Amino acid sequence: MQTARGVSAVRTIIDRTISAWIAGFMLAIATSAALGQDAVQVDAKHYKVMFENDEVRVLRITYGPHEKSVMHEHPNSIAVFLADGRIKFTLPDGKAQEVDVKAGQSAWNPAGKHLPENMGDKPFEVVLVELKK
- What's the pLDDT at 9? 61
The domain of 11 spans 1-35
- What's the pLDDT at 21? 46
The residue type of 117 is E
Same domain, 113 and 53: yes
Same domain, 77 and 125: yes
Same domain, 5 and 55: no
Same domain, 21 and 48: no
Same domain, 115 and 58: yes
- What's the pLDDT at 97? 96
Same domain, 106 and 73: yes
CATH number of the domain bearing residue 81: 2.60.120.10
- What's the pLDDT at 133? 85
How many distinct structural domains can be found in the chain?
2
Same domain, 63 and 80: yes
- What's the pLDDT at 33? 44
Same domain, 71 and 113: yes
Same domain, 95 and 81: yes
Same domain, 30 and 45: no
Same domain, 56 and 108: yes
Q: Give the pLDDT of the chain (133 residues) as one tens digit per residue.
A: 556 666 666 566 656 645 444 444 444 444 444 445 999 999 999 999 999 999 999 999 999 999 999 999 999 999 999 999 999 999 999 999 999 999 999 999 999 999 999 999 999 999 999 999 8
Q: Strand locations in 5-123, DSSP E?
A: 47-52, 56-63, 72-74, 77-81, 85-90, 96-101, 106-109, 112-118
Dihedral sign from CA coordinates of 117, 120, 124, 129: negative
Same domain, 19 and 66: no
Among 126, 118, 128, smallest CA distance to 87 is for 118
Model confidence, pTM: 0.73
Contacts of 130 (CB under 8 A, 6+ apart): 56, 57, 58, 59, 74, 75, 76, 77
